[in-house]
Chains A and B, each alone.
Chain A
Amino acid sequence: MQRSSEKPRQPGGPVQWLSVNAIGLFTALAIPLATFLVLYWGFFFLRDSDAPKIVIAIVAIVWGVGGVAALYLVANSLVDRLGDTWRARIQPFIFVGPAVAILLWYLAVPSLRTLWISLLDRNGVDFVGLSNYIAVFTTRNMFTAFRNNILWILFGATASVIFGLLVAILADRSRFENIAKSVIFMPMAISMVGAGVIWNMMYEVNPNVGLLNAIYTGVTGNNPVAWKAAAEIAPWNNLFLIVVMVWLQSGFAMVLFSAAIKGIPGEILEAGRVDGATEIQVFFRIMIPYIMGTIITVSTTIIIFSLKIFDVVQVMTGGQFGTQVIATQYYREYFTNQNAGFGSAIAIVLLITVIPVMIYNLRQLNDQEAF
């Protein structure tokens, strides 16, 4: 965090300002210095301390959150003393700089590193060119993984968005709003291990234990089916894993949609109703356009979730029975098989799949006017 804050503190056009007043100069230097020292000291305290956890936690919250806020404040007060031109130039970087710096460190640079490793052999030593990529696009396992990811997007992402929107809208008009939203949200709070236990029990082959097979054998009289594993229903056994994701993730969509719906000014809705629009017309003509931005955001996010879906598959089947997806293949190649080059190539392919989503969102940005 300190690292990022240094960027905006470049001195710029300070000559005329320097002569204005010495006290200003003093505060301008002392405050950032003090802030920096406090944060620096906090860094070492937090790194090295073995004080009671509660103390650390409290210091952490003050240091982390307060420190970040203080950095922004100080940086901004510095920039405020600059001339208008410089302020306009530097200020945006005070806003986006820290985020960009952290993203570079934590995700962008590791991605570049992965790109490099993807051109190396399994031990990450010798350069092998594109042969890992060729392998990615020619192995049967990877084909299955790609196909499954498409299934996840087609069914999983769509269903999550639809259910999320449906609940958000229905709940908005219901007296039982809080109950409904809490229930749909609840699965998100269950840890993945817990979700795995319960859904494995749902799909259990033994009809005495597995609810689905208890119903299925009871109704049809057929033999129980191994829903996650059965080769005869492949590739639709993936749907049973997708259901788990929909169950878990619809709450995510719902919360965001709900927040967006709450953001629709009541006056607009009232005006529509006064003009004689039916509820359904209000929904399609006023609400949907109003929350379109949110719909796009949520869809983008959930599509990306489906692209990098990992936990559900890992917990439910470990990617066996033809349920592997790109992320589980990456994990398997990189960690289980210790094939650094191949694993990295899979990760890069995953990154490439996001390009269409990026282009779309870039267009959104272009439509946006800034000050």
Chain B
Amino acid sequence: MATASSAKKIKKTSKLGPILINGSLLLLILIWLLPTFALLVSSFRTRFDIQTSGWWSIVPHRAWMTDRVIDPDPNWDRDGVMNIEGAQGTFEEFRNGITLDNGTRVFWIGNKRIGKVEIQAYKWTSNFNFTLENYGQVLGGKTFEVRQPDGTIKTEQADNFVGAFLNSLTVTIPSTLIPILIAAFAAYGFAWMRFSGRRVLFVMVVALLVVPLQIALVPILQDYVRLNLNGTFLGIWLAHTGFGLPLATYLLFNYIRGLPRDILESAFIDGASHFTIFVRLILPLSVPALASFAIFQFLWTWNDYLVALIFIGAKPDVQVLTMRLAEMVGSRGNDWHLLTAGAFVSMVLPLVVFFSLQRFFVRGLLAGSVKG
């Protein structure tokens, strides 16, 4: 790295720096954006369009477009050579399309019995057939028409998503804040306090990172049944707290441990207690780490399905947004085009959280506190 020649090279390219940086960033952004963009486009398309054509077909492109359709003459020799509109070929050749010199194509659609012949031209086109219907169903709830035994048809409107949205919020906010607070204390304890069992307990925290939460479902639900906590919001907050704590503690530990030692030392010299240092110094300094964990925990609890299903259930009055979305797809999984719109609806709030917490990722929190 430090050889003279490479240093020189770097010097030279450093003028290109901003371009290089923004260029590669742009490339990454485009790659990352592609699937999301595809999802966005698809969320405005009908089920039929999604099934039969790619989302990129909304971009104007050249394709074979039908000019006119003619009914095949029953007398044509379908097993031999046919002459249609100046094109000559067998049935198989027409099925693949025969292109004429004038740029049109003669195309046989269907089989020999009930087919039709299309005369096509290669033209600019775009599949710009957008609908808001998907969003309407996701936001407003599906409409079901149920035939009654007496023959009448009863229309039932499923709940709109507001209830589920509120449920999700009720689950998510405490499930995000509680573990952060508990983990911050624990992280400070592990990082800057001396006590017996520190090592054992810390290893336990790291080891528990890998525990798949599925193994905890049965015993915890057993306890909840005993405590009458099953089906309550309190139960699910505690569950999310428990499942989120290892990561929260671990991430915050590593951040708090990395804070400059001399800050704490000088505070101790000034006679501050651990508690004061934690509240006055550590918490404010850890805001970026707290904010980033808050984002993750929020996302995970927001997008969680299984924990909510087990501990609060799927009844309409308590079900969270993810369950509504999963149900959107229909009893047989036949309405999956609604998922594209649903995914966007459920994305809005996490993004708002991200944007509002992003401002905490700023340089200079430690500025002035470090010498040199």
Contacts and interface: CB of A to CB of B under 8 A. Distances in A.
A330 B214 contact: yes
Contacts of B233: 46, 56, 60
Contacts of B247: 301
Nearest to B338: A197
Interface size class of A (residues with CB under 8 A): 35 or more
In the complex, which of the residues B173, B206, B245 has the most CB atoms of chain A within 10 Å of its own CB atom? B206
A47 B250 contact: no
Interface string A302-335: 0010011010000000000000000100110011
Contacts of B166: 53-54, 57
Contacts of B211: 107, 110-111, 347, 351
B354 interface: yes
A187 B32 contact: yes
Interface in A335-371: 335, 344, 347, 350-351, 353-355, 357-358, 361-362, 365-366, 368-371
A104 to B, nearest CB: 8
Contacts of A187: 32, 35-36
B61 to A, nearest CB: 11
Contacts of A267: 367, 370, 372
B350 A189 contact: yes
A189 B372 contact: no
Contacts of B139: none
A335 B208 CA distance: 22
A134 interface: no
B190 interface: yes
Contacts of B322: 191, 193
Interface in A81-115: 89, 91-96, 98-100, 102-103, 105-111, 113-114
B4 interface: no
A184 B205 contact: no
Interface in B195-247: 195, 198-199, 201-216, 218-220, 223, 228-229, 232-235, 237-239, 241-243, 245-247
Contacts of A233: none
Given A99-B186, A106-B220, A267-B372, A358 B212 contact: no
Given A54-B166, A110-B220, A69 B181 contact: yes
27 contacts: A53-B170, A60-B237, A100-B186, A102-B182, A102-B242, A103-B205, A107-B211, A107-B242, A170-B21, A178-B358, A186-B32, A191-B343, A197-B42, A197-B343, A202-B38, A256-B292, A259-B288, A262-B288, A280-B1, A294-B255, A310-B212, A347-B215, A361-B206, A365-B202, A368-B191, A371-B264, A371-B274
Given A93-B195, A95-B189, A211-B38, 17 more contacts: A61-B174, A61-B177, A65-B178, A98-B186, A107-B243, A110-B211, A111-B215, A182-B354, A190-B343, A191-B325, A191-B343, A208-B52, A284-B1, A355-B207, A361-B203, A362-B206, A371-B268
